[in-house]
Chains A and B, each alone.
Chain A
Amino acid sequence: MIKGKSLIEVNDFSLEEIDDLLSFAGKIIDSEKNYSGLCKGNLIATLFYEPSTRTKFSFESAILRLGGQVIGFADAMTSSVSKGESLIDTIQTISCYADLIIMRHPKEGAPKLASKNSSVPIINGGDGGHQHPTQTLTDLLTIRQLKGPISNFTIGLCGDLKFGRTTHSLTKILLKYPDINFVFISPEELRIPEYIKEGISNNRYQETFSLESCIDTLDILYMTRIQKERFFSEEEYLRLKDSYILDMNIMKMAKNDMIVMHPLPRVNEIATEVDQDDRAVYFKQAKYGMYVRMALISKILGKGGN
């Protein structure tokens, strides 16, 4: 049961709890109006210690669509943090006011520390380059809504697979589902780390540099941005940043029912012409992100049934 639990990393929830959550999100998508007052009377704090327009808006729209109310800050400098208050003290104070705290913090492990010092549940909205569990839940809901049960497909993960936390946590959770094959598409310098591959049997994955060579085998293509902030040298970033540009010429080689996902924001890796293709689902994915957060918030507050 998710009620009263914190979500710091996806592994905090069992597969059964995740499936239950995704089913509930599916019900909200089918009849959103039925759930519009579900969290009426609940006050939820969003503590964003670093800017994140997308995640903050997604959480806050989820809360408002459930009829809940929001307090919080979008910049640590406008809070008592600027006076030197510790994270532990802030959390102990805010947990006196709110029923649930959603936080993003630049330091890794900050939400875990918060959950040890809070009297209310904590949802991790991203801690540096470490964990971003609601992005993974978003990805799972997108797959489930658009491709049916999470099993028996081939997913290609493309771009920065070395530093991209999104692809790491998605791969790790998908390994718990049956009959999923992986194609890791990246430049040599940005290959998926060994410790992620260790969990996958050899016949279930392949690695390649070339997107064109494998796109016809994919049921899902998960594109990622090559992140400038991960590079020590500007020169290396410039050399690798446009390693992959998905355009309609490449899309022509893909299956008719393949879907293209992306955690957003995108830079150059998907040409805007692809947005018009029905297989491009990344904006739909952002919408599913709001729905999965609605389901998560309700369930943690004990409002979504068992």
Chain B
Amino acid sequence: MINVSKLKKGIVIDHIKSGNGYKIFSQLGLDKLEDTVVLLKNIPSNKMGVKDLIKIENDIYLDLTVLGLIDSGVTINIIENGQKKEKIKLELPKKVYGILKCKNPRCISTIEDVGDIEFTLVNPSTKEYQCEYCHEKTKL
């Protein structure tokens, strides 16, 4: 196994579903950071079989909504002085704007320029969101 040195200060995004690591890396724009960033893929995990993991050696602003939408199962550990200072468990956002599109061909949003549509979470277990116009459910 590849050894990556222990983080002194920064953020660890753990329990990323295998395959989602690169998506998170890209969506958070981590490739643009000048700090040290490590993306580990397919690490053996007792809980998940295999998982992805990201270490960022600095404090940066994380868009938790984007993270929650890509992979709501991740945990975020904030590290200071080599110790875990805070652990954040993500939840799916109750409402999202401008991220989802309604797939219902009967929805007014398919023929009118309605701008960003508000989608409301209706079932966290199935990750289903409901369109504000036609109430049709869409999965993330």
A15 within 8 A of partner (CB): no
A268 to B18, CA, bound (A): 58
Residues of B within 8 A of A88 (CB): 112-113
Q: Which of B108, B110, B114, B131 contacts A105 (CB 8 A)?
A: B108
Main secondary structure of the interface of B (DSSP, over half): loop
Contact assessment for B132 and A108 in the assembled complex, using a CB-CB cutoff below 8 Å: no
Q: Contacts A87-B108, A113-B108, A129-B106 hold; do A108 and B134 have CB atoms under 8 A apart? A: yes
Q: A128-B106, A129-B106 are in contact. Are A107 and B111 (CB under 8 A)?
A: yes
| Residues in B60-109 with C-beta less than 8 Å from chain A | 104, 106-109
A112 close to B112 (CB less than 8 A): no
Contact partner of A86 among B110, B113, B132, B136, CB < 8 A? B113
Q: Digitize A82-118: 1 where CB-to-B-CB distance is under 8 Å, 0 elsewhere.
A: 0000111000000000000000011111101100000
Task: Give, as a whole number of angstroms, the nearest-CB distance from A88 to chain B.
Answer: 7
Is A130 close to B, CB under 8 A?
A: yes
- Shortest Cβ gap from B131 to chain A (Å): 7
Q: Does B135 interact with chain A (Cβ within 8 Å)?
A: yes
Cβ-defined partner of A130 (8 Å) among B111, B113, B134: B134
Which partner residue on chain A sits nearest B131 by CB separation?
A109
* Interface membership of chain B positions 111-138, coded 1 if the CB is closer than 8 angstroms to chain A and 0 otherwise: 1111000000000000000011111100
Task: Sort chain B's interface into a size bin.
Answer: 10 to 19
Q: Looking at the assembled complex, report how far the CB atom of A12 sits from the nearest CB atom of chain B, in whole angstroms.
A: 13
CA distance A110 to B133 in the complex (A): 7
- Evaluate contact between A87 and B112: CB separation under 8 angstroms: yes
A109→B113 contact, CB < 8 A: no
Q: Count A-B contacts at CB 8 Å.
A: 47
Interface residues on A, range: 10 to 19
A128 partner residues in chain B, CB cutoff 8 A = 106
Whether the pair B112, A108 counts as a contact (CB closer than 8 A) is: no
Do B112 and A113 have beta carbons less than 8 Å apart? yes
The answer to whether residues A108 and B106 also contact, given A130-B134, A130-B135 and a CB cut-off of 8 A, is: yes
* Distance of A128 Cα from B111 Cα, bound (Å): 14
Give which listed residue, A86, A108, A110, A127, contacts B104 with CB less than 8 A.
Answer: A108
Q: B133 — nearest CB in chain A belongs to which residue?
A: A109
A108 to B107, CA, bound (A): 5
Hey, which chain A residues are within 8 Å of B135, CB to CB? 108-109, 130
Please pick, from B110, B113, B131, B132, the residue contacting A107 in the complex, using a CB distance under 8 A.
B110
Query: In the complex, A86→B108 CA distance in Å?
Result: 11
Chain A 204-239, CB-CB to B under 8 Å as 1, else 0, gives 000000000000000000000000000000000000
* Interface contact A107-B106, CB-CB below 8 Å: yes
Most buried by A among B107, B108, B112, B114: B108
Residues of the A chain whose Cβ atoms lie less than 8 Å from the Cβ of B108: 87, 105, 107-110, 112-113, 127
Give the complex CA separation of A110 and B108 in angstroms. 5
- What is the CB-to-nearest-CB distance from B135 to chain A, in angstroms, rounded to a whole number? 7
A219 to B122, CA, bound (A): 35
Residues of A within 8 A of B109 (CB): 109, 113
Residue of A nearest to B122 (CB): A195
Of the A-B pairs whose beta carbons lie under 8 Å apart in the complex, a sample of 30, sorted by A's number, is: A86-B112, A87-B108, A88-B112, A106-B106, A107-B106, A107-B110, A107-B112, A108-B106, A108-B107, A108-B108, A108-B133, A108-B135, A108-B136, A109-B107, A109-B108, A109-B132, A109-B133, A109-B135, A110-B108, A110-B112, A112-B108, A112-B132, A113-B108, A113-B112, A113-B133, A127-B108, A128-B106, A129-B106, A130-B134, A130-B135
What 5 A-B pairs come out closest when comparing CB atoms? A109-B133, A108-B134, A107-B108, A109-B108, A110-B108
Known: A107-B107, A130-B134. 8 other contacts (CB 8 A): A86-B113, A107-B110, A108-B107, A109-B109, A109-B132, A110-B133, A128-B106, A129-B106
Q: Which residues of B contact A (CB under 8 A)?
A: 104, 106-114, 131-136
